[in-house]
Amino acid sequence: MRRWQLLWFAVLVVLVAPAAAHIAQVPYNLPVPFSMYAYGATGALVASFVVVGYFARSAPAGLGEAGRVVTEHPLVRFIGSGVARAVLQGLAVAALALSIASGFGAASQVSAAFNITFFWIICLLGYTYLTALIGDWYPLLNPWQALADWCFGAARSRPVRRAYPSWLGYYPALAWYLLLIWFELSGKSTPLALSCALIGYTVLTLAGVRVFGATAWMRHGEVFGVFFRMVAKMAPLDVDARQPAIAVRLRAPFVGCLQERPDHFSLVIFVLFMLSSTAFDGVHETLAWVSIFWRYLYPVLAAVIATHSKHQYLVLVNFFYYWQWLMLFVSPLFYLGIYWGFIAMTRRVTRSERTVRELAVAFTFSLIPIAFVYNVSHYFTEFVGQAPAILAIISDPFGLGWNLFGTRDLGWQDYMFEAGTVWHTQVWLILAGHIVSVYLAHLEALRIFRTRREATISQLPMLLLMMALTTIGLWILSLPIAAGQVLLPPGVGTPQ
C-alpha cells in the first residue's frame, strides 16, 4: 500500500500547475474554502465533458481544413512584399544586435537592462501571447533566418548533409528549450550572460543551417520557431510565412490543433515540456517542494557524503541546485510517463487496434491550450508589470544616461495586482484551458474511433487526468512561496 501512496504522491507532484511564484511571498487566504474551488472546477470539467459528449456526435466535416483565404488582403500582400520582408528582417537583426551589445553596457540594475526586458518579457511573453491571436508570423521576424539568408545565400540549398536525419527529429529544439528554461530558472540570466548566450545560440544556429540547410534546421532545430509554431495552432489565422508567398486563411480558434499531428515523437516530448517547464517554474520555489529536499534528501546526502567539516552544509548546498536542475530536465519524461499511462488506459477501455504510441501522438496537440493557459496564468502579472518599462529603457539601452527618444524619464513601476484578482484570474484561465482541451480531445477521438460510444469512453481516462491537473493545480496556487530560495525550512538546522 505504501508503494501506491508513494506513486500517487509522485504523480501529484509532477502534475502541479504553476503557482504564483512571481506574485506574492506570503500565503494567500482564499475568500472561500479551497474545497469549494476544487469541487466547482472539477464539476465544470465533468459538465463540459457531458455536454461535449452529448452534442458532439461526429467530427465536423472539414475539421482539419482552414477556412476562407485572405492572402489577397492588401495588408497581407504588403507584409509579404519584398520591401516589407527586408525591413522586418533588418529590424529583427538590429534588435538581436542591440540585445547582445546592451548586455555589455553599464546598466546598474537587471530590470533596467534592455536585453533582459526585451528578450524575456517582450519576446518570450508578449510575442507568445500575440502569436496565439494572430498566428505564426515569426518566420518574417526570425533574426537567425535573416542571418542565414545573408550569410549563405544560395549556399543554403547546398548544405553539408543532403538530408536531415529522420531520427534526429525535433530533439535539437527540445535540447535548446531545456537549456533556455534552465538558464531562466538557475538565476544565471544576467545582462552579460544573456548576451553571451545569444552569441552562442547565433553561432550554433548558423552552424546547424550550414550543416543541414536552412529549411530543415529552422523547422527542427530553431527552438523559438518550433515553440511559436505550436502556440500559433490556437490562433484564428492559419499563417504560412515560410514560403516566398505568404498564405493566410481564417479558421475557428483552436482548430489548428486538429489540422495536423506531430510528425515525429520528439515533438510530443516538446509539447509535454511546454507543460512541465511552466509547472516546474511554479512549484520549485514553494515551501512544500523545497522541503522535499531539505527534510528527506539532505539527511541522506549528509550521511553518505560525510565531509567531517563544520562547513558541511556549504559543501552540500550545491546538491540542492543540482537536484532542482535534474528535476527540471527529467520533468518532460515524468509527464510523458503519466500521459502514456492514461493513453494506455484509453486504448484498453476501447480495445483499440492502434498502438499506445499512435494514440499518444494523435492527442498531443490537444494539450497545447493547457500549456498556454499555464504560461499565461503564471506570467501575465510579470508581463503587465514589466513590459511598459521597455518604453523608458529603449531610450537608454546601454545605461549611459542617453535619452534617444525622450522616454528615459517616463515614469513606470512594477504594477502589483490584488491577490484576489490574481487568484480568480488564474482559476478561470486554468479551467478554460482544460475545457478547451477536453473539447479538442473529444473531436480527435471522434475521428479516430469507429463509433461515438467508443470515442466517449476513450475520453474517460483523459477526463480523470484533467480533473487531477485542475484540482492539484489550484491547490498548489494556494501554497506559500519560499522567499527567494529558502535553503532550510523551519525544523531543519544547519549542521555544526
- Mean pLDDT for the stretch of residues 181-201: 91
Q: Alpha-carbon distance 280 to 286, whole Å?
A: 10
**Residue scoring higher pLDDT (307 or 321):** 321
Phi, psi of 107 (to 5 degrees): -65, 125
Digit-coded pLDDT (tens) for 131-181: 999 999 999 999 999 999 888 875 555 778 878 999 999 999 999 999 999
CA distances from 225 to 82, 182, 242 (A): 21, 19, 11
| pLDDT in the model for residue 5 | 41
Amino acid type, 237: L
| pLDDT in the model for residue 58 | 62
CA distances from 479 to 21, 28, 32, 286, 364 (A): 10, 8, 15, 7, 29
**Residue scoring higher pLDDT (28 or 42):** 42
11 CB neighbour count, 10 Å cutoff: 16
Predicted confidence band at 105 (pLDDT cuts at 50, 70, 90)? confident
- Through-space distance between the first and last CA atoms of the chain, rounded to whole angstroms: 38
Q: Alpha-carbon distance 411 to 263, whole Å?
A: 48
Q: What average pLDDT does the chain have? A: 81
Mark 345-376 as b/e (b = at least 16 C-beta within 10 Å): bbbeebebebebeebbbbbbbbbbbbbbbbbb
**Beta carbons of 6 and 405 less than 8 angstroms apart:** no
Predicted confidence band at 11 (pLDDT cuts at 50, 70, 90)? very low
Q: Alpha-carbon distance 396 to 410, whole Å?
A: 12
Q: Alpha-carbon distance 221 to 269, whole Å?
A: 14
- Select the highest-mean-pLDDT range: 49-58, 236-245, 297-306: 236-245
Tell me the three cell numbers of residue 363.
492527442
User: Which of 31-40, 130-139, 263-272, 315-324 has the lowest average pLDDT?
Assistant: 31-40
Digit-coded pLDDT (tens) for 235-262: 999 999 877 778 899 999 999 999 999 9
CB-facing half-sphere around the CA of 440: CA atoms within 13 A: 29
Phi, psi of 250 (to 5 degrees): -85, 150
249: three-class secondary structure by DSSP: strand
**Beta carbons of 218 and 152 less than 8 angstroms apart:** no
Integer-rounded Cα Rg, in Å, for the chain is 24
289: three-class secondary structure by DSSP: helix
Q: Alpha-carbon distance 55 to 441, whole Å?
A: 14
Predicted confidence band at 18 (pLDDT cuts at 50, 70, 90)? very low
**Residue scoring higher pLDDT (390 or 61):** 390
Tell me the three cell numbers of residue 189.
540570466
